[in-house]
Structure 1
Amino acid sequence: MATLQNRKPKGITGMAVFDKSVSPKVAYPIDTPGTAELDPGIEEVLSETRSDLGEIVIESAIIDAQRPIISATMPGLTPTALALRLGKKLKNNASATSAVEKRIRLTATNNNYAGASSGQEGFGMSADQTTSYAWVLSGLGIPTALTRVAHASFDETVTNDSFSQGANGAYKFSDNLIGSDVLFQFPQSSLSILEIGEASLDDLEVNITVVMRDLKIFRLEIPSCSIDLGGSGPIPLGAGEISLQFRVTYDGSTCTPINYKYIDQVRAC
């Protein structure tokens, strides 16, 4: 027999999000939330009357509206979590343009870089691009552009205040810049990347699975929802948690916007 103690939640074991705008639907895997909450968003209409003492009292109450919100906090920013937070679909771009940008403090050992290997940032970059730039801080702290020189002929021991950009992101900086902070920007084209596209990601299905203390399953099944773009909070661009809010909508597939299911089976490991 079940006890109240055993039927309490132990923890969330999964949150599944699907894009329903395509057939078959597409999963947007996200980390298991550290926390998740449901605001049922129930609004009631109260019917009032007067008691025998002439006081206004509540005679009855009925549910007039349900506007539920699901809030979840994930431990980090993944591509799928960012796409959901922005309400935009992920897409592949097989011929994208980007740039390698770095700020480095030049030393006698890092002012000359031979270039990236396959799979590393900068691999495949063409040499001597006209839109490759580098800057250094002057003695007064003013950013000053460096002169770009052809990579193959550049002798960093001779020409001052100069740099070169070679194939696969290789570079050389003149020896007189050693000890200085420099910033460079080298463009790179024909990249195969994953990016946030323009298509809206606003027709979602969300299911949350909770394991009880007796290892039986509690499920919240939300057939239709969208991201609450204004209520989901800031986006961490480094380490940090990301919060998502899902606005539950009604698509007519069920009588209520959320299905709550206690399943008489235990979670197997």
Structure 2
Amino acid sequence: MQEWCYEYLATGNIRRDGVHDTEISPLIKMIEDASDLTTYTKEILDCGYTGPVNTEHKESILRALALHITTKRIPMLQQLREGLQIYDLIKIIQAKPHECHDLFVIGHDDKVDAHYISSHLAPEMSPTGSLKQVNESKILEFFQDFLLELEDTQPEDDVAGESDGMSVSQIMQWITGQSHRHLLVSERQKFKVSIKFDHCCLQHTPNHSVCYPIVSACTNTITFPVAHMADYESFKTLLQTAVKYGSAFDRV
């Protein structure tokens, strides 16, 4: 959705600047640069302009073209606005326009939040009802709680995770090698974080004291050592250590 469309949803007012249309916007650009408008007379009249077609009236023509773009979309936006009003969502948008902005306008939400990571988790779970599956579900809950805790404790002005404390962006960078959201919609749709669970570390390496989560940024895969993450505090400590000191961890 374009900025002016979101502003209409939020306020009910139509903004003439910043409108875009695949057919008319190129025409607007050509008219802005043209010294003779007679070449575009038919296209201008087709958009509803009824005044003289010459350079002296160029501003009036440009306003008419912008109005034509918005007029085509107003009925659809009005229906959408009425639908949002049924659930009082317009009141929420008006109360928190900045927070709601990225839900409607694409291209401005490059900051990683807990939901972005959690919604792309792809865990490899054991059979439903098994003890392994119960422990795996618990670790997934720990991971999501950890992300939400980071998000809640991160300062509002620390959007890039530049403070001394850990941030959700750092977790994203640890997993993928980049601290921001994927820029292309197609990349976001394909993105997933594979979650694996190591239930056999004690058999692999007897008598070891602790394992850390292992990440593969090339495949966006995290392997959690189940035996060492029985409670949230253990999970949190091990994950913080893994993220803080590097991306290649093994048993200690």
Per the TM superposition, whether the score is higher than 0.5 is no
Q: TM-score, normalised by structure 2?
A: 0.21
Q: TM-score, normalised by structure 1?
A: 0.20
Task: Kindly name which structure, 1 or 2, has the bigger radius of gyration based on alpha carbons.
Answer: 1
**Higher relative strand content:** 1
**Higher relative helix content:** 2
